[in-house]
Each structure stands twice: as C-alpha cells, then as structure tokens.
A and B are shown apart, each in its own frame.
Chain A
C-alpha cells in the first residue's frame, strides 16, 4: 500500500481527494433520501457496504420506497451495473493479480476507472485506481451513515448542483483520452446511440449500447504512427 502513496503526486492526490469528498456528500443525500422515504436505516447502509454502486443503490431504494418489489429493484440495479463487465476487462491489469482481485473488484466505480484510464503508466494507473477506490468506499459509507442518521434534513442535493458536478467530474477525467481522434469518433457515436436509446430502454442499457460505437474504431493504423506521435 505504501508504494501507492509514493506514486501519487500531489496534484493527482488532491483530485482524488476532491472526488472522494464529493462522493461523500452524495452518499449523505442517498442516506437521507432512503430514511426520509420510510426505509429503516440498515437498508441504505447495508446496500452501501455490500453493493457499493451509487446509481444502482439510488434506483433500489427509490423503487422499494415507492412500494415496488425488492425483486424488481434488484433486477433494475443489476441492469445498471452491467457496465462493470467491460470496465473490469479494461482495468484488469490495473487491479493486479491474486487476492487483490477480490477487494480490487469490489471498489470498482466509474470514478476510479476513469482516474486510472487517465494515467499513462501502469504504476500510476494502479495508484490512482486503488487510492480512488478505497477513498471513495470510505467516504461514501461515512456519508451514507451520517445522511441516514440526519434523516430527512437533506433530501435534495440538486439544490447544491451536485447532480451537475458528477458528469463534470467524469468529463474532466475522460477528456484527455478523447484527444485521440479515433477514440473520440467511437465515443461520440456511442453517445448518440445512448441518448437516442434512453427514452425507450430501461436504465443502464443505453450506456451499454454505446459500446456499438466501437464498430467505428479503427485500430489498424501502423504502430509506427503511434510511436512518432
């Protein structure tokens, strides 16, 4: 673990800390919304520890608090989390081998995957992934407990604009990767597909469908060109 902190430079460490803090605040609202919606405190807390995937947790408590079946909530949550399969394939080397795959997989989030993809050396990718994952896990869960205990005091973090902060965080993290023209084309085609599909498909599927944008990715350029860039 110590090598992780040594590899992180101050700028990167500060960025990661900021995302952890923001996640903690969203966790606060999630805990408050759940308890405010009539669920016992242990439900949001248990979900945060064993599921640890924000979007699917919001969806789960939303459906159950509205009187929906926990089974329907579970199916919806799983659907939203299917994007973790391609994420796992992409960051497998970053997570490492052996026992590390277990905790490493559990702390996989959109944010730390994006942080890792934004670094160019494996060592730095590892440091960013692990520091981000562990930091977010800790902050998110602390936030959820505090929010749940605070009950219905803070139920709407939209007032603070946090719903806009999240896409902005991810955008800032992926922008450097989009400088590559071929990646950008694939991503833009994916965006169009996802947006067009959103009104018609259940949550989670449109984003997955964006992978069709990869069909527009040409990876057959000679390696020489990459090297001289």
Chain B
C-alpha cells in the first residue's frame, strides 16, 4: 500500500514537472509581454511583472510618484507625475536624494499589445492568414472528398497506380520541392500573389488517404439501395456519404486549418510584399526588425498564437487524435 502511494506520487510529480516545462515558455511569454521594456533591460527575468517605482513623501503622508532623470549625489533631478501617473505635473524639479524612496510593485503594461499590433500591419496579416487558411480548408475538403470517393468506391484503369503515386508524393519533404516550385511560380507570375499561397495547398494527399479509409467502410448495401432509387454517383457522395462522414471531415478541416495557419517556410519564400504577407512571416520580420523591444515581441507572439490556442482548447480531443493518426506535424 505504502509502495503504491509512493509510486503514484512519484508519477504525479514527474508529470507535473514535465507539464511545467511544457507551459513555462508560454507563461513567461505572457508575463514578459506585460512588462515594461526598461525593466527587462535591467535584467529582470522573473515571472511577475514587478517594477521599481520612486516616490517622495509629503509632510501629510501623501506619496508623490516621480521619475528620476539625473541622480547626482545629494540632489536628484526628477519629474513629478500627476494623479493619473501617466503625465507629469512638474518637470525638472530638484529633490534631495535622501528623500526619495523606492519600492517594487506590480504593474501590467497592457498597452504593449496595442503598441505591437500597430507597429506593423498585424491586422492586415491576420486578415491575409484567415483568408488563405479559409480557402485552403475549403479546397482541401472539396478536392479530397472527390478524389477519395473515386479511389474508394470506383473501379477504373490505373486506380491503384495513381493512388500509390499520390502516396509516394506525400512522403517527399517540402524542402525538396521548394526551390523548383519557386522557379515555376516565378515563371507563371504567381510569386507575391494569393495564388501562390493557396492553390498549391488546396489538395492534401493525407486527407485523401484518410477520407478513402472512411468511405471504404460505408456498406455496399447503402450504395445499391441508393442506385435503385435512382441516385446518381455524385448524388450518393453528396446526399449519403458526406453527411455520414462529418466527424472525419471536421478532422480534415481542422488539420488543414492548423497546417495553413502555421506554415512558414512556403509563404516566406513565395511572398515579399507587405500586402499579402501572412501572420507567421509578418511575425518573423517583426522579430528581426525589433529584436530589442522584447516586451513588444512577446506581445506579438502571444496574440499570434492565441487564435489557434483557443481553437485547440475547444477541439483538443479531435485535434490530438487527428495529429496522432496522421503522423504529420508542422
């Protein structure tokens, strides 16, 4: 009994430690995103956005918050804040240094988010990403269900050959065809257009594979009955198969959406214009341009992963199982 409890507590403590390691970077990202840049520059790397504030005490006990400009021995030059603590009531006032007190206090700089959002056109990047992802999901659903239907339920010459050719294409990693694709897309004038971001991705071989497995499980009787009732081949797909395959279609859609939202190398190579830049590429440029504004960088990273994180928390069961069954990750 004692041994069992010991084992259980060991398991739990290890699992908790691992869980902490997994989420710590994200927690740190969020807490750093609300710190002030000057605090970060001073080397503050903790999780709590503490800030040093200076104040002088009046005779009646009120505190007047100040900003120290020059600290020179006995006298310091300071700016005195007004009640809101955003603007200065008086500037360049000389105060005896001995009278200045400091304390550490909690302060959240939520306006970092707004600042980061407005520094580069993140709104535009968001819209571009949503548009591209939406088109990709629609395309994947359409092309994959059509192709999977043919592969699963029709007999024609070369079917298996074409299917295995598709599967073998799936195994080839992206870096292999990236360079020739770039060349081809330059030739047809698609570089720097939405076409380059959408069209090559509107089919997904893995989705075809997944849907084919599903369509194969539909009983033949159902087909025969529908055919006798005068339903066409396309009608069977549209009226019978797709409605009963909703869960797997949802999995396919979620998967395509995550893939499209997170894709980085392809849009990085295929676009250079700010107008059609997607979020991941925009974020990477932002990271290189403002590498010194840590707080803003963390804010931008936080709001760029927020939509997917929310989607994940809502549909986690489906997402986890689709990732596990697919073997494809980022």
A and B: bona fide binding partners: no
- A residues near B, CB below 8 A? none
Listed in ascending order, the chain B residues whose CB lies under 8 Å from chain A are none
